[in-house]
Structure 1
Amino acid sequence: MHELTIDEFLTKNNLILVDVRSPVEFNEGSLPNAVNIPLFTDAERKIIGTIYKQEDERKAKWKAMEFVSPKIPIMLSEIKKIVDEQKEPIFYCWRGGMRSKAVATFADYAGLPSKRLIGGYRAYRKYILERIPKMLPNKAVVLHGGTGVGKTEILHRLEAKGYPVLDLEKIANHRGSVFGAIGQGQGNNQKTFDALLFEQLKSLENSRYFLVEAESKRIGRAIQPDELLLRIKNGFHLQINAPLNVRKERILSEYTIPFKHEPWYKSNIKEALSHIEKRMKRKEVKSLLQQSLELERYDQIVEQLLLEYYDPRYQYAQRNYEGEFVPINAESIEYAVNEIEAILKNF
C-alpha cells in the first residue's frame, strides 16, 4: 500500500480520488472531482459512533465489520471500474485513518492499486487554507457596476480569450444576490467554495493580475477570504455602465425567460421578495411589487427593484473601495470587452 502527501497528489495526473466517508460527510465537503464510494451509510456511521461512545472501541469495530463485510464485493467492483478506465484510485477519509486504510487493504488483496492520501480530507483542507492567500496574483482588476450591466458576461468573454479571470459567482454557484440561486440549485457551502477557489487559483499561477467582479463578502452560502477582499478593495477599478432598459432586458433574459414557466419559479420569486421587502421602507413600492407578482409582470418587478433597492445599495457599497474608477460603456458587451482589452494591454 502506497501513501501520498497532498503535495505529491497535486503533482500527479490520471488519479481518481475515492472518498470513502459517508454520503453526508461527502456532501458537506470533498476534494474536487472526487467520487464517493462510502464504507458506511449515514445511519451505519451513526450507530458505530454511538457504540464507540457509550460502550467501547472493540464493540464498535466489530459492528463496523458486520456492516462492511457484505459490501466488500460491491465496493471492489466499483473500484475496478475506475481501474478499467485506465485511472488510478487514491483513497481518503476524514483523517486518513481506519476507513481509507480498510478500503485500500481490500483493494490490495484484490490486486487493485491501493494508494492512500496521508491525512485525508482534514489535511487537504488545512493545506489549501494555508496556501490560498499566497496564491493570489499581485493585482486585482475589479469590475464594478449595478445589477444587470453585464459584468459576468464580460468576465466570461475575457476568460474565453485567455485572460486570467477569477469567477467568484461560479465558484459559489450563486449570482451574489437574494435571487442569486434561481436556476442554479443550492449554492456551494464554504468547504466546497474554498476547494474550488484553490483549484481556480492554481490556473492563475504566474499571472501578474486577475480580473474579478466586485462582490459582497458573502456570496450565497460562502464567505470570501479576507486576503482576497483586501486585494479587491485596493485593486484597479472599472466602472461598468449600461442604460436602465438594457439592464432590465439582460436580467429578464437571465433570471426570468428561461424559468418563468417552471412550477417553482413564482414561489421562489415570492420568497426572495419577502426577504427584500423587510429592508424596504416605502409601503407603496412593496404594494406595487406584490401587485406585479400576482400579475406575473416580472418586467415591472425588475425595474422597481433596480430603482428602489439594488441601485441604492450598490451606491452605498462603492464607499468601501479606494482609488479612481475608469468608466466602461457596456450598452454593447462586445464594445465593453474591447475597451477593457485596450486597458489591459498597458496594464
Structure 2
Amino acid sequence: MKELSIDEFIQKPDSIAIDVRSPIEFEEGSIPHAKNLPLFTNEERTEIGTIYKQSGSEAAKWRAMQIVSPKLPGLLGEIKRVQESGKEPVLFCWRGGSRSQSMAAFATLSGIEVSRIAGGYRAYRERILEKTPDLVQGKAIVLHGMTGVGKTLILHGLKQKGYPILDLEGIAKHRGSVFGDFGEEKPHNQKIFDSLLFDGLSSIQSKDFFLMEAESKRIGRATQPDFLLKAKEEGIHISVCASMEKRIERTYQEYVTPYKECSWFKDRVWESLQKIERRIKNKQTLENLYHAVKSENYEQLINILFVDYYDPRYSHKENSYEGGFFFVDADSIQAAVAEIEKIIEKTGFSKPAAIGI
C-alpha cells in the first residue's frame, strides 16, 4: 500500500478517489469525482461515536468490526471493479486515520493494489486552498449584463468552440439570484465550491485568458475568494445586452417552463418573493408582483422584477467598474458568441486552435 501526498494524488489522472467516510460527510464535501464507499452509515457512525464516549475506544473498535465485517465482500468488490477498469483506487477518510487504513489493509490482504491519501480529506482541503490563488494566471474576460441577456448561454457557446471558461454559477450550483436554485438540487456549500473551483481553475491554468461572468461575491451558499474578485475587477469587460422581450422569453424558458406543473413551483415563487419584498419600497409594485403570482402570469412577474427590481440594482453595479466596456447585442446567442470571438482577437489573444485548447 502506497501513501500519496496531495500533490502526488492531484498529478495522477489515472486514479479514482474512494471516500470511505459516511454519506453525510461525503455530501458535506469531498474530492471532486470521488466515489463514496462508506464503511458506516450515518446512523452507524453516530452509534460508534456514542460507544466511544461512553465505553472507550476498545468497545467502539469492537462494535465497528461487527458492523463492517459483513460488508467487506461488497466493499472490496467495488474497489476491485475500479482496479479492473484500469484506474488506481486511492482511499481516503477525514484525516487519513483508521477508516482508510483499515480498508486499505483489507484490500491489500485481498490482493488488491490500492494507495491512500496521507492526511485524508482535511489535508486535501488545506492544500487546495493554499494552491488555488496561484492558478489564476491568465487575463479574465468578464461578461456583464442584466438578468436574462444570455451570459451563461454565451459562455457555453464559447466553451463548445474550445475557449477556456470558468462557470461560477455551475460550480456554485446556483444562478446567483433569489430564484437561483429553482429546479436545481441543493446549492453547493463552501467546501464543495472550493474543490470544484480548484478543478475548474486547474483546467485553464495554462491559458493566456479565460471567460467568466461578473458574479457577486456571494453565489448561493458559497463565497468567491478575494483573488478571483480581483481578477474580475482587473479584467477585460464586455457588457451584454438584449431586448426586454428576449430576456423575458429566456428567463421564462429557464425558470418557469420546466417546473410550472410541479406541485412545489408556485409555493417556491411565493417564498422567493417574500425574501426580497422588504427591498421593494413601492407598494404598488409589490401588489402587482403578488397579483401576477396569484394569476400565474409569470411573464408579467418577470417583467416587473426586471423593471422595478433587478435592472436598477444591476445598473448600479456595472457603473462601479472603471475603464471601458465592449458592448455586445445578444438577441442572437450565436451572433453574440461570434462578436465576442472578434473582441478576444482584438484584445490580442489567439483563437483556441492557436493556443492548444
Q: How many residue pairs get matched?
A: 347
1:220 deviates by: 0.8
Aligned partners of 1:316, 1:55: CA distance in 2, in Å?
A: 61
Does 2:161 align with 1:161?
yes
1:319 deviates by: 4.1
Does 2:10 align with 1:5?
no
Equivalent residues of 2:143, 2:214 under 8 A apart? yes
Does 2:115 align with 1:115?
yes
Q: Which position in structure 1 is the counterpart of 2:18? A: 18
Q: Which position in structure 2 is the counterpart of 1:103? A: 103
Equivalent residues of 2:138, 2:205 under 8 A apart? no
TM-score by length of 2: 0.94
Q: Which runs of 5+ in 2 are unaligned?
A: 348-357
Q: Secondary structure at the match of 2:340?
A: helix
Does 2:211 align with 1:208?
no
Q: Which position in structure 2 is the counterpart of 1:318? A: 318
Aligned partner letter, 2:36: N
Q: Which position in structure 1 is the counterpart of 2:57? A: 57
Q: Which position in structure 2 is the counterpart of 1:264? A: 264
Does 2:233 align with 1:233?
yes
Relative to structure 2, which stretch is displaced further, 41-50 or 204-213?
41-50
TM-score by length of 1: 0.96
1:99 deviates by: 0.6
Q: Which position in structure 1 is the counterpart of 2:145? A: 145
Q: Which runs of 5+ in 1 are unaligned?
A: none
Aligned partner letter, 1:234: E
1:245 deviates by: 1.2
Aligned partners of 1:131, 1:87: CA distance in 2, in Å?
A: 25
Equivalent residues of 1:174, 1:181 under 8 A apart? yes
1:62 deviates by: 2.1
Equivalent residues of 1:51, 1:59 under 8 A apart? yes
1:114 deviates by: 2.2
Aligned partners of 1:2, 1:131: CA distance in 2, in Å?
A: 24
Equivalent residues of 1:218, 1:224 under 8 A apart? yes
Aligned partner letter, 1:151: K
Aligned partners of 2:187, 2:53: CA distance in 1, in Å?
A: 34
Aligned partners of 1:124, 1:18: CA distance in 2, in Å?
A: 13
1:24 deviates by: 0.6
Q: Which position in structure 2 is the counterpart of 1:174? A: 174
Does 2:222 align with 1:222?
yes
Q: Which position in structure 1 is the counterpart of 2:198? A: 198
Q: Secondary structure at the match of 1:278?
A: helix
Aligned partners of 1:283, 1:17: CA distance in 2, in Å?
A: 54
Equivalent residues of 2:138, 2:206 under 8 A apart? no
> Which 4+ runs in 1 deviate beyond 4 A?
none
Aligned partners of 1:288, 1:24: CA distance in 2, in Å?
A: 43
Equivalent residues of 1:151, 1:213 under 8 A apart? yes
CA offsets, 1:185-241, max 9 Å, x none?
211111111111111111102111111100111111111111001110121111111
